[in-house]
Amino acid sequence: MHRFSPVTRPVCGVLGAQPAATADEPTHSIAPAARAPAATGGFSTRSALSTASVDPGLHRASVAAKPGILRRMATYFRGSPHPVLSEARLSSELSALSRHVRERDFVKIADELWLPADHPADFESLSVAFSRLYPDSVLTGWSAAKLHGITPPDNAVPELSVGPVGRRRRGLRIRRYPIPESAIEVRRGVRLTSRRRTALDLARLSDHLTGVLAVEKFYRRGFTPRELAAEIESGRGTWGIARARRVLDDAHPKSESPRETETRLYLRDAGFTAFIPQVEVRDLGYRLDLADPRTKIAVEYDGIHHDDPLQQSKDRVRRNRLQAAGWIIIVLDSRIFRSQLDILLHQVRAAYARRAFEAAS
């Protein structure tokens, strides 16, 4: 197990250095700059630049000043490097172009950073592109999660740990907490936190619900509560560890959707603690979104696909069979979830009151 010792690697070749910040320092978060439409026609500069640009992820001065970086880069680029490492350009690499050509063929996504005009500015591309500005940076949070195959939420912001120095930029969340070398890996030439460390960081640095939903996404990709528990144990004393423990307690490996989890936690906070996700009714071959197996009370969330007439017919057959087998089924949809959760609580209370009356009869 690694320990959280301050061994963050230095950042070189970065202008605008700032004083060191603590792990719990508030971070800057602004939506990425809007992309301009791609230009069409005319001469493309991309092939001409391919032989003139510096090695992906490095400034020329950084390479000259730090020979050790070259040895690390030899390791980074075994196999196929991420294409954005060569597609993204620093302003210094485009200095030979006229302003007209540069703004025709490239889109500025941040100060000193450009992408080809026809390259999608999706979350992964932005995350990897930003790493070019900070040669020894490490992708963290949702940026690391994306490269681990975890889909980030729509409001996720590219995130990098850059060490004690490195200027802030619009559209990027800067982290300055130390990351041990044992918690860093390289994928397609990109430095990022390991899967275990990424899950821990999302659990300890997010609000509680966001952390629970994030960890459950990891569970659906084969991550286990035991792995997160081990990472929490090895990080004792790190900022946010108590929050991560609460996330571990509430995240469920069987949860299959965010709405399911939000409903389960809502009912738990209202005092209904017996609901568990994905309960199997073996004799009928069904699974229930949330259920209390002892009392045979279930809450099911109907997403948008349940609006299809054929699906609605299947749902009626399913629920009729479950009710005939003694289950109480309470159905929740997006409208009820958004504005009428008091109705859900009323129905759940009524279901438990019915069970209590039946037991006393």
- DSSP letters, 219-262, are HTTT--HHHHHHHHHHTTTSTTHHHHHHHHHH--TT---HHHHH
Residues 48 and 147 in one domain: yes
Task: Tell me which residue of 219, 168, 226, 175 sits closest to 201, measured CA to CA.
Answer: 175
List, edge to edge, every strand of the sheet that includes 113-116: 89-90, 113-116, 106-110
Specify the pLDDT at position 45. 52
When pLDDT is cut at 50, 70 and 90, the band that residue 42 belongs to is very low
Same domain for 183 and 210? no
d(CA 277, CA 256): 8
> Residue 280 maps to which CATH number?
3.40.960.10
* Interacting residues of 5 by C-beta distance below 8 A, sequence separation 6+: 178, 180
Res 110 pLDDT > 90: yes
Looking at residue 46, what is its pLDDT? 52
Claim to verify: residue 177 and residue 200 sit in the same structural domain: no
How many C-beta atoms surround the C-beta of residue 329 within 10 A? 18
Q: Which range has the worst mean pLDDT, 144-153, 245-254, 309-318?
A: 309-318
Q: Which of 66-75, 87-96, 314-323 has the lowest mean pLDDT?
A: 66-75
pLDDT of residue 79: 55
Q: How far is CA 69 from CA 62, 134, 178, 286, in A?
A: 8, 13, 19, 56
**Could you tell me the two tokens for 92?**
């210094």
Residues 17 and 114 in one domain: yes
What is the CB neighbour count within 10 angstroms for residue 115?
Answer: 21
The last residue of one of the domains, among 144, 159, 193, is: 193
Better pLDDT: 64 or 128: 128
Question: Reading across the β-sheet that carries 297-302, which strands appear in turn?
Answer: 276-281, 286-292, 297-302, 328-333
Residue 350 predicted with pLDDT over 60: yes
- Both 213 and 341 in a single domain? no
Question: Do residue 92 and residue 154 come from a single domain?
Answer: yes
Q: Contact 195/218 with Cβ under 8 angstroms?
A: yes
343 and 301 fall within a common domain: yes
CA distance 312 to 225: 35
**Residue 361, pLDDT score:** 83
Residue finishing a domain among 144, 166, 193: 193
Domain count of the fold of the chain:
3
3-state class percentages of the chain: helix first, strand second, coil last, to nearest 5 = 45, 15, 40
Q: Who wins on pLDDT, 283 or 62? A: 283
On whether the CB atoms of residues 138 and 125 are closer than 8 A, the answer is: no
Q: Are residues 122 and 86 in the same domain?
A: yes
Do 100 and 27 have their domain in common? yes
For strands 297-302 and 286-292, give the pairing: antiparallel
The percent of residues above 70 in pLDDT, for the chain, comes to 78
Virtual CA dihedral for 131, 91, 70, 174, nearest 10 degrees? -20
**Contacts for 69 with CB less than 8 Å, ≥ 6 apart:** 12, 58, 62, 63, 135, 136
Domain shared by 225 and 322, yes or no: no
Boundary residue ending a domain (148, 172, 193): 193
State the residue range of the domain holding 325.
Answer: 258-360
- Mean pLDDT (the chain) is 82
What does the alpha-carbon distance between residue 317 and residue 286 come to, in Å, rounded to a whole number? 12
Q: Shortest CA distance to 273 belongs to which of 249, 256, 302?
A: 249
Sequence-ordered list of residues with C-beta below 8 angstroms from that of 61, at least 6 positions apart, any chain = 12, 13
Tens of pLDDT along 172-226? 999 998 899 999 999 999 999 999 999 999 999 999 999 999 999 999 999 999 9
CB 62 within 8 A of CB 12: yes
- In whole angstroms, give the CA distance from residue 269 to residue 265: 6
Question: Does residue 151 share a domain with residue 41?
Answer: yes
State the DSSP H helix or E strand holding residue 266, giving kind and residue range, or none if neither: helix 258-269
Of 56-65, 69-78, 152-161, 169-178, the one with minimum mean pLDDT is 56-65
Compute CA distances 228 → 64, 199, 235, 249, 257, whole Å.
Answer: 40, 7, 11, 11, 20
Indicate the pTM of the whole model. 0.75
